[in-house]
């Protein structure tokens, strides 16, 4: 570290008015003073800069041309401009090679266009593989994306097909046959382009299947294709997870809405008054069950017992062996009444208890009724 320089020490309290007087005395002859000579006065620096700028604009030569910036070439590449078809000369035994007359699309990148040119030329030019142009298949040319741009007109395409397939001459095929074939090919290409499908054919030219066109662009690089496939898969996984969460929420909401006592409802009319607890009319229940389809009286009594004493819960607790016994006994007609299953002492106790509760309820209501009556 460097040497520390101590600050100036402020010794004592200084008078601010005295300090102000000292400062004003230093500039007393400079503030609001007349110029030394009226002929020459100082000009502010900013005013001097403005005058200098105006002089440079006046002296500037207007005729000097601006240097043009090099603009990027946005023109599309057209292969037809650079193709010079050679006329047939004497001594030429083989037909001239077809040159793809490719044209760059408006939304096509320069790199993609070069890839397309390379792909199409590989279809046409097979000399590196030891194959001649005459061995090229019609399907390789026709069903390529740029097959229609290979020739300037339909007649040139027909001539090329004739040159490629010399074996058609001994078969007696005429130019009209080639024209019809080419028209079918063009119609099929228009159909594929309109509905975005691909017509799959076998070796004999018969239609095997019609499939949807792949959304992945073939001109993309391998890395771009992989990124596109991964993006599609991520969207599918996210959609599946979202649907799964939605189904789980719906199932949980359905479970929460289930109320075990929702079917037990009491209906009360307006102004209804009850003076005693409700009584269970077993005969009425038996008639109601019998009206719903119970044929015999014994079945009605069984249904009544199930309703009153809840024997369904008792059956659920029973073991499988007991269930077998119960099923064997239930198949037999039960001639005993419902009261016969309970002992006489138990029935007497239940009846006395019921009567006691009814009397207590009636006395309570009577006392309340007398209490609210006005005294005359």
At residue 32, does pLDDT exceed 50?
yes
The confidence score (pLDDT) of residue 342 equals 82
112 and 180 belong to one structural domain: yes
At residue 360, does pLDDT exceed 60?
yes
DSSP 64-132: PPPPPP-----PPPBGGGG--PPPP-TT--SPPPP----B--TT--HHHHHHHHHHHHHHH--TTTT--
Can you state the percent helix, strand and coil of the chain, rounding each to 5? Answer: 55, 5, 45
CA-nearest of 94, 97, 103 to 85 is: 97
239 and 319 belong to one structural domain: no
The confidence score (pLDDT) of residue 150 equals 43
Tell whether 135 is covered by a domain.
yes
Sorted by sequence, the CB contacts under 8 Å of residue 211 that are 6+ apart come out as 197, 198, 200
Separation CA 118–CA 121 (nearest Å): 5
Counting residues of the chain whose pLDDT is more than 90, the rounded percentage is 10
Tell whether 132 is covered by a domain.
yes
Which 3 state secondary structure label does DSSP give 207? strand
103 and 205 belong to one structural domain: yes
The confidence score (pLDDT) of residue 105 equals 79
Residue 277 and residue 361 in contact, taking contact as beta carbons nearer than 8 Å: yes
Q: Which residue has the higher pLDDT, 68 or 342?
A: 342
Q: How many distinct structural domains can be found in the chain?
A: 4
Task: Give just the sign of the alpha carbon dihedral 175, 181, 183, 185.
Answer: negative
Tell whether 159 is covered by a domain.
yes
Sorted by sequence, the CB contacts under 8 Å of residue 172 that are 6+ apart come out as none
Tell whether 287 is covered by a domain.
yes
The whole-chain average pLDDT of the chain stands at: 70
Q: Which residue has the higher pLDDT, 131 or 119?
A: 119
Per-residue exposure over 140-170, b if at least 16 CB sit within 10 Å of its own CB, e if not: ebbbbebbeebbeeeeebbbbbbebbeeeee
At residue 170, does pLDDT exceed 60?
no
176 and 118 belong to one structural domain: yes
Mean pLDDT of all residues in 206-235:
81
Q: Which residue has the higher pLDDT, 247 or 181?
A: 247
| pLDDT tens, position by position, 82-126 | 665 566 677 777 666 656 667 787 778 888 888 877 777 665 554
CA-nearest of 311, 305, 312 to 289 is: 305
Tell whether 61 is covered by a domain.
no
The angle at the Cα of 136, spanning 135 to 138, to the nearest 5 degrees, equals 125
293 and 353 belong to one structural domain: no
| pLDDT tens, position by position, 270-319 | 888 888 877 777 777 767 666 665 445 555 556 555 554 554 444 444 44
At residue 345, does pLDDT exceed 80?
yes
Show which of 177, 192, 212 is a domain's final residue. Answer: 212
Separation CA 275–CA 351 (nearest Å): 20
- Residue 127 — pLDDT band, cuts 50, 70, 90? very low
329 and 350 belong to one structural domain: no
Q: Which domain holds residue 291?
A: 280-336
Tell whether 131 is covered by a domain.
yes
Q: Which residue has the higher pLDDT, 167 or 274?
A: 274
| pLDDT tens, position by position, 177-218 | 666 777 787 788 888 888 888 888 887 778 888 888 776 666
109 and 130 belong to one structural domain: yes
Residue 141 and residue 156 in contact, taking contact as beta carbons nearer than 8 Å: no
Tell whether 178 is covered by a domain.
yes
104 and 202 belong to one structural domain: yes
242 and 182 belong to one structural domain: no
Tell whether 374 is covered by a domain.
no
Sorted by sequence, the CB contacts under 8 Å of residue 219 that are 6+ apart come out as 112, 115, 116
The confidence score (pLDDT) of residue 100 equals 61
The confidence score (pLDDT) of residue 63 equals 58
230 and 132 belong to one structural domain: no
Least confident interval from 29-33, 77-81, 135-139: 135-139
- Residue 352 — pLDDT band, cuts 50, 70, 90? very high
The confidence score (pLDDT) of residue 233 equals 92
DSSP 187-201: HHHHHHHHHTEEEEE
193 and 158 belong to one structural domain: yes
CA-nearest of 98, 101, 173, 183 to 136 is: 98
284 and 247 belong to one structural domain: no
The confidence score (pLDDT) of residue 191 equals 86
């Amino acid at each position: 570290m460097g040497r520390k320089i101590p600050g100036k020490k402020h010794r004592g309290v200084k008078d601010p008015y005295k300090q102000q007087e000292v400062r004003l005395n230093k500039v007393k002859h400079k503030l609001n003073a007349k110029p030394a000579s009226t002929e020459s006065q100082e000009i502010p620096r900013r005013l001097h800069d403005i005058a200098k700028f105006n002089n440079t604009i006046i002296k500037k030569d207007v005729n000097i041309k601006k240097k043009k910036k090099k603009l990027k070439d946005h023109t599309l590449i057209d292969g037809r401009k650079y193709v010079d078809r050679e006329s047939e000369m004497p001594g030429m035994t083989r037909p001239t090679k077809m040159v793809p007359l490719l044209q760059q699309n408006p939304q096509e990148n320069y790199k993609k266009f070069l890839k397309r040119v390379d792909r199409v030329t590989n279809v046409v030019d097979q000399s590196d593989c030891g194959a001649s142009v005459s061995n090229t298949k019609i399907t390789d040319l026709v069903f390529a994306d740029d097959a229609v741009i290979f020739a300037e007109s339909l007649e040139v395409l027909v001539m090329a097909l004739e040159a490629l397939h010399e074996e058609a001459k001994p078969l007696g095929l005429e130019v009209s046959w080639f024209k019809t074939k080419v028209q079918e090919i063009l119609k099929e290409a228009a159909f594929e382009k309109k509905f975005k499908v691909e017509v799959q054919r076998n070796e004999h030219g018969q239609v095997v299947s019609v499939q949807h066109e792949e959304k992945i662009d073939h001109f993309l690089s391998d890395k771009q294709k992989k990124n596109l496939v991964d993006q599609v898969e991520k969207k599918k996984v996210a959609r599946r997870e979202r649907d799964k969460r939605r189904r789980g929420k719906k199932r949980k909401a359905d479970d929460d809405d289930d109320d075990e006592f929702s079917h037990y409802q009491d209906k009360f009319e307006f102004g209804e008054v009850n003076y005693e607890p409700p009584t269970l009319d077993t005969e009425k229940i038996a008639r109601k069950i019998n009206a719903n389809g119970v044929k015999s009286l014994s079945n009605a009594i069984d249904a009544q017992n199930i309703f009153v004493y809840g024997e369904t819960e008792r059956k659920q607790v029973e073991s499988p062996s007991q269930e077998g016994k119960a099923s064997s006994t239930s198949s037999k007609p039960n001639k005993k009444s419902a009261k016969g299953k309970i002992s006489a002492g138990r029935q007497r106790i239940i009846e006395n208890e019921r009567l006691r509760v009814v009397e207590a309820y009636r006395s309570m209501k009577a006392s309340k009724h007398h209490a609210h009556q006005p005294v005359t």
